[in-house]
Amino acid sequence: MAFIECRQLSKTYRKGAGTIRPLDNLDLDVDQGSFLALMGPSGSGKTTLLNLIAGIDQPSGGALTIAGQDIAKLSRSRLAQWRAKHVGYVFQLYNLVPVLTAYENVELPLLLHPISRKVRHERVAAALSLVGLADRHDHYPRQLSGGQEQRVAIARAIVTDPDILVADEPTGDLDKPSAHAVMELLCRLNQELGKTLIMVTHDAATAEYAGLTLHLDKGRLVEQSVQTAFSGETATTRTQDGGAP
């Protein structure tokens, strides 16, 4: 059994008198510890799929099983608890709180967990050290570069030691050197710490860091490409009849 299994996964929205279907009976397997990039035109369903896997949204139909649990069947409150424990989210625009220091921003997710102040401090310090910002712990977002802000956001995403990291256009607002540094950091988290990493990107160069790139169009998988220079093939798609593409 794959770590993440999507079976006939669908998402629909009502818009006026019509229905929008960003995901259409999608089947997907993702192995634990893999690095998967999702690409496709705007409206292809890639961010919808990312948010479903992250537990931010719930599907309209189908099954979404992660580590043996069908999270599509969880209530919103239980889904929020599951997400806090298992998922770290990296946003394109960082989503840091401007009036909090780097330390305080990274500490935020831990406030949802019943742990002592001492343990919180140890985890925040370790996360900031891992992303190379231990010496910037008392800086506010306005005092950091874009690349440093994104590294703080990554530290915040990993401070709870989640199983899954999801990243929505993590380099979309960065210059080329900063983007490279961020992607190298994400690769380290995947390869050295074994985090399952799922990333949405429009940039083919960014997607090359992933072991496997899946292309979506109109809510369906249409193409996959394997990056053998990195981690090799780590996820598989299934066609509507259950066979390999």
Phi, psi of 181 (to 5 degrees): -65, -40
Across the chain, what does the average pLDDT equal?
91
Mean pLDDT of 94-119: 95
Strands 35-39 and 196-200 come out as parallel
Q: Is 15 left (phi over 0), alpha (psi -120 to 50) or beta?
A: beta
146-187: pLDDT as tens digits: 999 999 999 999 999 999 999 999 999 999 999 999 999 999
pLDDT at 219 over 60: yes
Q: What per-residue confidence (pLDDT) applies to 17?
A: 82
Dihedral angle computed from the Cα positions of residues 178, 31, 168 and 64, in that order, rounded to the nearest 10 degrees: -170
CA–CA dist 198, 166 (Å, integer): 5
Domain spanning 33-60+76-232: which superfamily?
P-loop containing nucleotide triphosphate hydrolases (3.40.50.300)
Query: Residues with Cβ < 8 Å from 18, sequence gap 6 or more?
Result: none
Q: What per-residue confidence (pLDDT) applies to 228?
A: 57
Global pTM reads 0.88
Give the pLDDT band (50/70/90) at residue 236.
very low
